[in-house]
Structure 1
Amino acid sequence: MSNLVRLDIGKLERELAYYRRECNDLGTRLLRLQEEQSQAFREARRSRTVAKLIREAHRVADVSGSPDEIGSALLQVVVENTLCDRAAFVRCDGNPEAPDRFRVTHAIGFGADVPAPWVTVPNAPAFFLTTSRTVLEPPAYELTGILRVPYVLWAHDRASGHGLIIGNQSEANVSRPFEVGDQELVEGALSVYIDVLARKQAELELRSAKASAEEASALRARFLATWSHELRTPLSAIIGFSEMMAPGSRYRLTAKQRRDYAQQILQSGRSLLELINDILDYSSLSRSTPMLAPAWVSAEYVITGAAREISALAIPRGIAVEVAPTEPGLEILVDPMRFRQVIINLLSNAVKFTQPGGRARIGAQRLADGRCEVTVADTGVGMRAEDLPRALEPFQQIDNGHDRAFAGTGLGLPIAKGLTEAHGGTLEIFSEAGAGTTVTLTLPAKAVRIADVAG
């Protein structure tokens, strides 16, 4: 009986061992099947993610106004589709002395714990990942340190300098990337970003070029309109009076009429010369910084001389030109001829836009910080706040159209501003409609001094 029991037990043990092997084989096949299903799911998810990134990237490019907006929006798309905790776009700053230095251009998932603006990744790889099965070695330390998470995926385009890094606090089996096959995903996301960024930058450049072309066209139109208006009157006067004075003319002129007409021709010729000089001056300023010959001159001498010259225009119109007292010995380092042109342009505008009985006042003073401030103020028609920027544009006047109240090319203020900036100074306009205009010209302290006037 005991032998029979032993035989039954042996048989049961063999059967149990057989079924144990079968169960183990079945479990192994099941795990393999699960792994294959997981891998298939991951590959399908990667394909869907890359396709969605491409679609979303072009949508983002269409609705974004600047390249910076594209980076933030596309990074959000990357995080949502890859189910990552944190992500960042970085870019190599291109410094040959620090080729491993990257600037974090966009980051997401950090909350208040923002990443450092600059990071260093020695020997930055084209692609790198860390998982629980990867030993952390340099440059993995630097890569994980950027996002401050242990699991990261990295892609770097050396040609453009852009890089993308995404990371997680923990690793998941299916829902999150972090295996060798995910290289396609992260590099695809970076490629899409670079392509869309280049597209947006090219679009902005095209828009800028279009705006510049439109501005040039408008400037040309204003130039032609202004010159056709400004040249017609003096040319008509010169031609008309010359025909009347020409030998064989049917007009019988007296000696006084001949003198008056000759004077009109002279004045019209001077007006044409002044217009041409304005155009040449502005043309030289628009091409490059004018050549200056600076010298120390008396501030009082410059503004007084300019005021005397403008008085010849102001007195017949009943406008007073006043010169404020200047600090004794105040000298400025300027090109005397070009700076005198600035003052004359400002005073000429002040007189032109002031009604009879008004006044224009000019003065220079040294400020507490050593700079020199030259002020030209008038009691004229003034300007509205929204018109001030236009006043500094070439060929612009507040009165538009051919029947303007005030003649001129509209180059006086742009020329004055350009020459002032060429001297290292600034020019500001303060005005109110009906209450006059004040133009303030400020020279740097290095161009100002007090000369010894003793004796």
Structure 2
Amino acid sequence: MGSLSSEHSEDDNFAINRQRAIRRREMARFARNARSRLGTPENRYSTFDLERQHLFADTRINAAYAVPLLALIVAVISLLWVNPVLSLAWFLSTLCLHFVMVGISHAYEKAPSEQQARKIWPWRFTAGDLIYGCGWATFPLLPKPVDAGEELVIFQFATLLIVVATNTMQSATLPRCLLASTLPTTLVVTVCFLLQGNPIHYTLAAMAIGAQGFFLILGNQLLKNTNTMLEYRADKDHLIAELETANAMSDEARRRAEAANIAKSRFLATMSHELRTPLNAILGFSEIMKDEVLGPMHNKNYKSYAGDIHGSGQHLLNLINEILDLSRIEAGRHELHEEALLLGDIAEECRTMMNVRAKAKSIVLHHAHDGGLPRVWADERALRQVILNLMSNAVKFTPVGGEVGITVGRTVDGGQYVSIKDTGPGIPEEEIPTVLEAFGQGSHAIRSAEPGTGLGLSIVQALIGMHDGRFALKSNLGEGTEVTVSLPSSRNMHFSDDVAASFDTDRVRQQRDVKSA
């Protein structure tokens, strides 16, 4: 019951993650449709209101000390034409209005998110900017001497441009604040110029109005850039959320796959015992009947049936062994028992073992290897299984009277390789990936109904990979197939002659003990 409940909870979690991903995609699609309407007049500023308010407040806070410096410079220069007391009063009043705006921005940043979403904040920002703009607008109204000259006019116009540009940069994210902070100064300066009645003043008044229009256009472009930046940020956040969801689903799928792999390994381990027990009885009794150990069988059909039963049981046992070998390797439970070996000797032993099968099909086995090859540090059983699997495939698919060559030599990088080449029908190029997969078989094997599981090459690749080696298969249709397995140079062992002789003596002794046993 516990396992069933855990499986149900896993399925529920997986389904919930998928539903979340679907909902987020729908929300992203809705957001993109809403943003596509940003260009329409009625919806131009309907999105990212909170984000733009944050940017507005953050800009005001960052400029908390830059604006007083500008006001101080204007006040000091104005001392050339304005009474110092009036100039100081204007500077202090402008400074207070500026810090009022900074205080409003700080209050907004510290307010909870639910209060920041209230409609009152845009109106507070607009009112504060209007009062702040009026503070700058009072500067041209300060009393000046009649003979101030053109220098004052130029200074007032330059101050207008700087103030409007500064307020445009600070208030571009909120269009109403932009108008509130720049329009009072422009209107006052324009009116003052028009009241002078001189052509130069008319020109400056026209330029002031043009500058106001230019900065409004600039502010609108800055607003579009801000919206685009916020849109990209929202897309990035959405993508991160999608990646987190996909990562969670991937982790869950990987965990489920690992659990399934463990369950598969346990199932195979259990079934191997359950299948091998009756198979041993089938093989033993069928062999006794086939060889007529307990007496002759007068019906030859029964004897043939016993041979078929023994052959089928042997094939099934080989299939079970190969599946178990591959499952142990994939589960990382196959341990290598490494020792110093001569690759050429193992290849020669495998050739001797396959000689009987080759003679049955009149296949000639060729064996060649380079002299002076050092020993390799490897698992003897694994290498023997690799070479036997490759030679078995070569003999199986080579037609009667063909040839199979076994070559042992050095690789270009100093390692050692074993190459097995046959004169069989070959493998079409498009079928090679299929042949290399587990349970994969080529079209020739299917047509000829050759017995096999399709696991031999998978086991070979896995065992060679555990030795840090490489596997290569080359085949031309109608010309044969060549399979090469190689071991890296790091597995070469270099011993003195005495040590090598002791290895040979131990190996001969072990072989003699095995034969006597």
TM-score if structure 1 supplies the norm length? 0.51
Aligned partners of 2:353 and 2:32: how far apart in 1?
64
Tell me the CA shift for residue 253 of structure 1. Answer: 3.1
Tell me the CA shift for residue 406 of structure 1. Answer: 1.5
Instruction: Calculate the aligned-residue CA RMSD, in Å.
Output: 5.3
**Equivalent position to 1:409, from 431, 434, 453:** 453
**Equivalent position to 1:194, from 237, 248, 251:** 237
Tell me the CA shift for residue 259 of structure 1. Answer: 6.8
Letter in 2 for 1:393: E
Aligned match of 1:175: 220
Tell me the CA shift for residue 417 of structure 1. Answer: 0.1
Aligned partners of 1:128 and 1:386: how far apart in 2?
63
Bigger radius of gyration among the two: 2
Aligned match of 2:471: 427
Matches within 5 A, 1:18-417: 55=29, 173-177=218-222, 186-187=229-230, 189-199=232-242, 202=245, 253-254=297-298, 264-288=308-332, 290-399=334-443, 404-417=448-461
Deviations 1:246-280 (A, max 9, x none): 9xxxxx93398777665554444332221111011
Aligned partners of 2:64 and 2:345: how far apart in 1?
81
Letter in 2 for 1:191: A
Aligned partners of 1:317 and 1:372: how far apart in 2?
30
Asked if structure 1 preserves the Cα contact closer than 8 Å seen for 2:28 and 2:238, the reply is: no
Tell me the CA shift for residue 195 of structure 1. Answer: 1.5
Letter in 2 for 1:198: A
Distance change (3 Å), C-alpha of 1:383 and 1:365: same
Asked if structure 2 preserves the Cα contact closer than 8 Å seen for 1:289 and 1:422, the reply is: no
Letter in 2 for 1:422: M
Aligned partners of 1:171 and 1:337: how far apart in 2?
83
Structure 1 gaps of 5+ residues are: 1-52, 60-73, 82-124, 137-150, 153-169, 221-230, 247-251
* Matched residues, number: 290
Asked if structure 2 preserves the Cα contact closer than 8 Å seen for 1:395 and 1:411, the reply is: yes
Tell me the CA shift for residue 198 of structure 1. Answer: 3.5
Aligned match of 1:141: none
Distance change (3 Å), C-alpha of 1:293 and 1:199: same
Structure 2 gaps of 5+ residues are: 1-26, 41-54, 67-168, 171-214, 265-274, 291-295, 502-517
Aligned partners of 1:274 and 1:449: how far apart in 2?
34
Asked if structure 1 preserves the Cα contact closer than 8 Å seen for 2:289 and 2:303, the reply is: no
Higher relative CO (CA 8 A, sep ≥ 6), structure 1 or 2? 1
Aligned partners of 2:413 and 2:305: how far apart in 1?
54
Asked if structure 1 preserves the Cα contact closer than 8 Å seen for 2:415 and 2:487, the reply is: yes
Deviations 1:53-85 (A, max 9, x none): 9559769xxxxxxxxxxxxxx9xx9xx99xxxx
SS of equivalent to 1:410: coil
Letter in 2 for 1:194: D
SS of equivalent to 1:177: helix
Asked if structure 2 preserves the Cα contact closer than 8 Å seen for 1:329 and 1:450, the reply is: no
Aligned partners of 1:436 and 1:284: how far apart in 2?
32
SS of equivalent to 1:174: helix
SS of equivalent to 2:341: strand
Asked if structure 1 preserves the Cα contact closer than 8 Å seen for 2:386 and 2:460, the reply is: yes
Aligned partners of 2:356 and 2:437: how far apart in 1?
28
Aligned partners of 1:134 and 1:316: how far apart in 2?
97
Aligned partners of 2:443 and 2:413: how far apart in 1?
39
Aligned partners of 2:431 and 2:241: how far apart in 1?
37
Letter in 1 for 2:397: F
Aligned partners of 1:318 and 1:129: how far apart in 2?
90
Asked if structure 2 preserves the Cα contact closer than 8 Å seen for 1:328 and 1:453, the reply is: no
Larger deviation, residues 261-270 vs 287-296: 261-270
Letter in 1 for 2:220: S
Aligned match of 1:95: none
TM-score if structure 2 supplies the norm length? 0.45
Asked if structure 2 preserves the Cα contact closer than 8 Å seen for 1:427 and 1:441, the reply is: yes
Distance change (3 Å), C-alpha of 1:343 and 1:193: same
Deviations 1:402-427 (A, max 9, x none): 76532211000000000000011110
Tell me the CA shift for residue 189 of structure 1. Answer: 3.6
Larger deviation, residues 269-278 vs 355-364: 269-278
Aligned partners of 1:380 and 1:130: how far apart in 2?
82
Tell me the CA shift for residue 206 of structure 1. Answer: 6.7
SS of equivalent to 1:173: helix
Distance change (3 Å), C-alpha of 1:374 and 1:174: same
Letter in 1 for 2:237: I
Aligned partners of 2:357 and 2:366: how far apart in 1?
14
Letter in 2 for 1:176: Q
Identity of aligned pairs, percent? 29
Aligned partners of 2:223 and 2:299: how far apart in 1?
103
Distance change (3 Å), C-alpha of 1:361 and 1:174: same
SS of equivalent to 2:220: coil
